[in-house]
Amino acid sequence: MKKFVFTLERMLAYQEQNLEKEKGILARITAERDKLEEDRRDKELRIRHIQEDIGQRQIQGTTVFILKGCYSVLEGARIRLEEIETELARTQARMEKQRHVVTEASQEVKKLEKLKEK
């Protein structure tokens, strides 16, 4: 009796390789999202510290120039926080698209594996 040879073996190997590549891309996007979330938390903490510092300076009494400087630093931190949140939203959208790609690639591999089993 002749041994069964799965003729789509090369296609299966290609699809598995493609799946791994897509998973790697998803992992990089996830790491980027995690870094942006950490940056966002850091900026929020920085803003709170600046606001506390402004409050302390106002209580103690300080010059208008120092307060103006503090408010400009605060505004810069808020602008950067908005930029981070925009980047985070874009990264989330890219991540969702990549999850869809990974799901499709996984389904292709499963189809070929089922064919091989039969």
Mean pLDDT by 10 residues, the chain (118 residues): 65 89 94 95 93 88 86 93 95 95 91 81
The half-sphere exposure of 24 on its side-chain side, counting CA atoms within 13 A, is 6
Query: What is the structure's pLDDT at 20?
Result: 93
Query: What is the structure's pLDDT at 42?
Result: 94
Query: What is the structure's pLDDT at 3?
Result: 60
* Contacts of 5-8 spanning 24+ positions with Cβ under 8 A: 6/115, 6/116, 8/112, 8/115, 8/116
Q: Distance between CA atoms of 85 and 36, rounded to whole angstroms?
A: 8
Close Cβ partners of 71 (under 8 Å, ≥ 6 residues apart): 54
User: What letter does residue 3 receive in the DSSP assignment?
Assistant: P
- Containing 2, the helix (H) or strand (E) segment is none
